[in-house]
A and B are shown apart, each in its own frame.
Chain A
């Protein structure tokens, strides 16, 4: 019987459980992890805030100068993401014109510092 044979083979071999955190599986390239914002690239267009389905991106004060298409612009706002409410759909990354907001290649961690919760 195929079930019995497979049972015996399994009994005599290693289990396939990955013993996290001692062993970890590699995270694929396309993995949608935590949201991160690169401040120098962001031009403050608010597109991420407009397309976010869960409405977790709000534009807050962040005056700076950025270079966009050869011009130096003065920008007033930067996006702020509530990381714990983010559903990691990646629409912000898809619609950002400069690639400033992107989803990192890491599992989102827990933490007590404010940087973990809001970026």
Chain B
């Protein structure tokens, strides 16, 4: 067959959120990929400029449903640092517990979605069943299964009662047992192995060149985790390991995520058992001093960065959100070349895409004309000496 354009999206059963892939394929092999990421743009960065510090936190929480605590925490962390506030340790521990529980539920969700994408619906049903235990814990602690609303500037909104700590600790052993089973399943289940191994391989140099972050990069051997390299919350006081892998294919990313699941259960257990007593918030001034800060956080999908600029009022002047999925799309465009059409959903699902997080692009035209907001990432050629690198962020 000559080259055909297979347009995946914006509505497609493989996609959870709208995105447009124009795949130019020769038979079953992919030649080129063009992405259009603009479908979920909601103007959140602009809306955040008009809300004061109390009202902006729920807005930023709702950038994404699965990583909502990440956005709220990284913003609060940044503003607290600008204001020069010292958060009580109990609040740090509570924020860490919720953050790791969020990572657990996100990785379990991802495992189910990865299994569903290759048609293995049984593992999808089982992982989402186990995810219910994490959701129940989160609902008991915060009142809602997503959009926890635990953060405020200056600390945490509600405290953990001893009954909640008890209930959460009692759910952990069953989860650990299931995670061990999933490790065994992923290593021995034949259809998963042949669909995941050798698919979408990315070397360490390519991961560094194209700016991949999170488990996508750690599976290619890039040993970088914001929780260790730029510590925040309670991560410096709790023992845990960074999981890396050298394979760089979808199987490697699966192993990294399951390893992180295990580490998260250990962090949650350690924090729940050693949580210090004390107040959960401090009084905050209404206005923030003038300043700029880049606040970073390890979201379940990778490194999340908020650039915040304040100007002495009780609102931010500018908040710019760089989500991990935005950094990982280029690696998808790179990994997809010369793979089969059947591997598109697998490789896309392997970066754990969250389009709600991603859709806020600005392109600066280097030729000197004014800044234009464009929503297209152009195709990337994999060959390193192909001339200009056509990727623009």
Contact = CB atoms under 8 A, between A and B. Distances in A.
B193 interface: no
B142 interface: yes
B237 interface: no
B143 A51 contact: no
Contacts of A30: 139-143, 158, 164
Nearest to A31: B143
Main secondary structure of the interface of B (DSSP, over half): helix
A3 B189 contact: yes
Interface string A18-37: 00000000001111100000
B363 interface: no
Nearest to B120: A3
A86 to B, nearest CB: 11
A31 B139 CA distance: 7
Contacts of B54: 51, 91, 95
Contacts of B51: 53
A53 B55 contact: yes
Interface string B52-73: 0011111101100000000000
B58 A2 contact: no
A16 interface: yes
A73 interface: no
B383 interface: no
A7 interface: yes
B11 interface: no
A52 B57 CA distance: 11
B387 to A, nearest CB: 48
B188 A7 contact: no
Nearest to B139: A28
Interface string A57-80: 000000000000000000000000
Contacts of A87: 58, 62, 147
Interface residues of A, number: 23
B122 interface: yes
Contacts of B46: none
Interface in A78-119: 87-91, 94-95, 103
Contacts of B379: none
B143 A32 contact: yes
A88 B157 contact: no
B149 A89 contact: yes
B195 interface: no
B158 A2 contact: no
A28 B148 CA distance: 14
Contacts of B229: none
Interface in B131-168: 136, 139-144, 147, 149, 152, 157-158, 164
Contacts of A52: 55
B188 A2 contact: yes
Nearest to A27: B139
A1 interface: yes
Contacts of B59: 53
Contacts of A2: 181, 184-185, 188
A88 B142 CA distance: 12
A29 to B, nearest CB: 8
Contact of B129 (A16, A29, A88, A95): A16
A2 B181 CA distance: 8
Contacts of B61: 89
A31 B185 CA distance: 35
B14 to A, nearest CB: 24
Interface of B: 51, 54-59, 61-62, 122, 126, 129, 136, 139-144, 147, 149, 152, 157-158, 164, 181, 184-185, 188-189
Given A30-B139, A88-B144, A91-B58, 4 more contacts: A7-B122, A16-B129, A87-B62, A90-B157
20 contacts: A2-B181, A2-B184, A2-B185, A3-B185, A16-B129, A28-B143, A30-B164, A31-B139, A31-B143, A31-B144, A32-B144, A51-B55, A52-B55, A53-B56, A53-B59, A89-B147, A90-B149, A91-B55, A91-B149, A94-B157
Q: Report, nearest first, the 8 A-B pairs whose CB atoms are least far apart.
A: A32-B143, A53-B58, A30-B143, A28-B140, A53-B55, A89-B58, A51-B54, A89-B149
